[in-house]
């Protein structure tokens, strides 16, 4: 499908970058238990008849969060919602939130949480058990997004908006992608067919690697916290990436690329494929690469596997010491409703977690690649669940980089990655 310009996605360029940046925050200091402690369990029924003020604390507002409170307050339910900026970016927001949570401050009823914070905050006992509230919303929400809120068999937040990678391609040069193996084979046939990806030593490389690893059937950490990355699947993914860079199927300059630099390389016309976030479309359409560009959900690793993506996004969580948990549940009910999720995607260009929103005719008309994004989100999985996720991610991307850049071999790299991930896990 050739894509026309979609102005409604302009805001997403900024917010997707914020989401990715937030995933590299340093872990909190102090001991962290391997399992979540007992916590108050939110009862969905307490929203009925709720009154009073509710404060949502989170990152700098680009307009969407004030829209949430304004829309909710206009319904005159007896609850009045307020949004409080506690940081200008994801890292500063997390720092300020942790200071409040560790100090037992009651000023924030709801926290806007990056999806990678859930395990840490649950393990620290900073947020309430949302299991019953999630069950009340389960039928409406995309199942993969729910997994971002789960830790130790319970749910600790409710998904609010999400994100997942896509594969952009020059349909005037290359065929639609079916598998990563096929993409790399096609890319190796012509320098103008090559793949651009995010492969510098940072969180983006972790995500690019995980997308292939999950599709191949591999993982980094299992549900019990055991390190599982030393596997045949990890070796297969690293071999494909390494061979792709050696053959020229992958632009070797990708070893220095983040999202912006990879996109610019694709826009210059010297590549056939680009792995990117949905936010890239608006910018690509304004360049010479735009007319020939189409978009697809991320492909499967090979003909024997299923497609997979890695989820980004933000969740809403009620603080353990919230002043008004009943009002907080009422706000979360509205934030995840079909009504506000449609407002969110049309006016603020955020990928919804409410499944039916992707099939709304008005949404499809304004955002013609929403079916591909839905497919990618449906196949997506969360990043490894760990209270020390930032350390785990560093262990992954540093070792992946060592292998694909040719500084070490696959076998050595896999074993070192497993050792480093295990060492990270042992810090809590």
What tens-digit pLDDT sequence spans the chain (428 residues)? 333 333 444 334 333 433 333 333 333 333 333 477 888 899 999 999 999 999 999 999 989 999 999 999 999 999 999 999 999 988 899 999 999 999 888 899 999 999 999 999 999 999 999 999 999 999 999 999 999 999 989 999 999 999 999 999 999 999 999 999 999 999 999 999 999 999 999 999 999 999 999 999 999 999 888 999 999 999 999 999 999 999 999 999 999 999 999 999 999 999 999 999 987 888 999 999 999 999 999 999 999 999 999 999 999 999 999 999 999 999 999 999 999 999 999 998 789 999 999 999 999 999 888 999 999 999 899 999 999 998 999 999 999 999 999 999 999 999 999 999 999 999 87
Q: What are phi and psi of 133, to 5 degrees?
A: -65, -40
In this prediction the pTM is 0.82
- Provide the 3-class DSSP secondary structure of residue 179: strand
User: Is 7-163+311-381 CATH 3.40.190.10?
Assistant: yes
Torsion sign across C-alpha atoms 319, 325, 329, 330: negative
Strand residue runs (E) in 217-319: 273-276, 293-297, 309-310, 312-318
Fold classification of 166-310+388-425 is D-Maltodextrin-Binding Protein; domain 2 (3.40.190)
In the prediction, which pLDDT does 23 show?
Answer: 39
**Are 384 and 221 within 8 A, CB to CB?**
yes
What is the residue whose two structure tokens read 């991320």?
298
Question: Whole-angstrom Cα distance, residue 160 to residue 171?
Answer: 33
Structure tokens at 374: 């839905």
Question: Whole-angstrom Cα distance, residue 210 to residue 145?
Answer: 16
Question: Whole-angstrom Cα distance, residue 15 to residue 17?
Answer: 5
Strand residue runs (E) in 298-355: 309-310, 312-318, 351-352
Structure tokens at 135: 């069950």
| DSSP letter (8 states) at residue 323 | S
In the prediction, which pLDDT does 7 show?
Answer: 40
Instruction: Please name the residues in contact with 304: beta carbons below 8 A apart, sequence gap of 6 or more.
Output: none
**Are 124 and 101 within 8 A, CB to CB?**
yes
Between CA 60 and CA 69, with CA 63 as vertex, the angle to 5 degrees is 95
* Pairing, β 52-59 against β 79-87: parallel
Question: Whole-angstrom Cα distance, residue 312 to residue 16?
Answer: 8
Question: Whole-angstrom Cα distance, residue 219 to residue 213?
Answer: 7
Give start-end residues of each CATH 3.40.190.10 domain in the chain. 7-163+311-381, 166-310+388-425
**Are 305 and 215 within 8 A, CB to CB?**
yes
In the prediction, which pLDDT does 15 show?
Answer: 39
Instruction: Please name the residues in contact with 29: beta carbons below 8 A apart, sequence gap of 6 or more.
Output: none
- Provide the 3-class DSSP secondary structure of residue 60: coil
- Provide the 3-class DSSP secondary structure of residue 302: coil
3-state DSSP of 357-425: HHHCHHHHHHCCCHHHHHHHHHCEECCCCCCCHHHHHHHHHHHHHHHHCCCCCHHHHHHHHHHHHHHHH
What is the residue whose two structure tokens read 């560009």?
293
In the prediction, which pLDDT does 298 show?
Answer: 96
């Amino acid at each position: 499908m050739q894509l026309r310009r979609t102005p409604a996605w302009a805001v997403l360029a900024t917010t997707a970058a914020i989401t990715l940046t937030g995933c590299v925050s340093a872990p909190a200091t102090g001991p962290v238990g391997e399992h979540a402690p007992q916590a108050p369990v939110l009862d969905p029924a307490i929203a009925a008849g709720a009154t009073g003020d509710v404060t949502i604390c989170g990152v700098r507002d680009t307009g969407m969060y004030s829209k949430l409170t304004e829309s909710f307050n206009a319904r005159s339910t007896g609850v009045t919602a307020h949004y409080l900026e506690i940081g200008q970016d994801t890292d500063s927001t997390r720092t300020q939130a942790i200071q409040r949570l560790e100090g037992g401050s009651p000023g924030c009823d709801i926290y806007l949480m990056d999806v990678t914070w859930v395990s840490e905050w649950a393990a620290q006992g900073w947020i309430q058990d949302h299991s019953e509230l999630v069950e009340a919303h389960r039928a409406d929400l995309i199942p993969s997004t729910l997994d971002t809120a789960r830790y130790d068999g319970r749910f600790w937040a409710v998904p609010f908006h999400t994100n997942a990678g896509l594969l952009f391609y020059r349909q005037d040069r290359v065929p639609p992608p079916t598998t990563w193996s096929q993409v790399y084979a096609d890319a190796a046939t012509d320098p103008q067919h090559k793949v651009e990806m995010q492969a510098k030593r940072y969180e983006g490389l972790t995500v690019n690697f995980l997308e292939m690893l999950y599709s191949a059937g591999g993982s980094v950490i299992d549900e019990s916290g055991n390190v599982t990355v030393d596997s045949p699947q990890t070796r297969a993914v690293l071999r494909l990436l390494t061979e792709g860079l050696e053959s020229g199927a992958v632009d070797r300059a990708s070893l220095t690329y983040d999202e912006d630099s990879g996109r610019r390389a694709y826009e210059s016309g010297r590549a056939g494929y680009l792995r990117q976030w949905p936010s890239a479309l608006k910018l690509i359409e304004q360049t010479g690469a735009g007319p020939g560009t189409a978009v697809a959900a991320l492909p499967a690793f090979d003909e024997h596997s299923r497609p997979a993506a890695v989820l980004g996004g933000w969740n809403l969580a009620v603080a353990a010491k919230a002043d008004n948990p009943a009002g907080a549940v009422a706000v979360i009910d509205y934030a995840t409703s079909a009504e506000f999720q449609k407002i969110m995607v049309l006016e603020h260009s955020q990928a919804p977690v409410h499944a039916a929103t992707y099939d709304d005719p008005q949404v499809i008309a304004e955002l013609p690649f929403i079916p591909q994004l839905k497919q990618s989100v449906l196949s997506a999985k969360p990043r490894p669940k760990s209270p020390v996720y930032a350390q785990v991610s560093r262990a992954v991307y540093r070792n992946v980089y060592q292998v694909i850049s040719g500084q070490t071999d696959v076998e050595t790299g896999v074993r070192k990655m497993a050792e480093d991930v295990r060492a990270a896990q042992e810090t809590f």
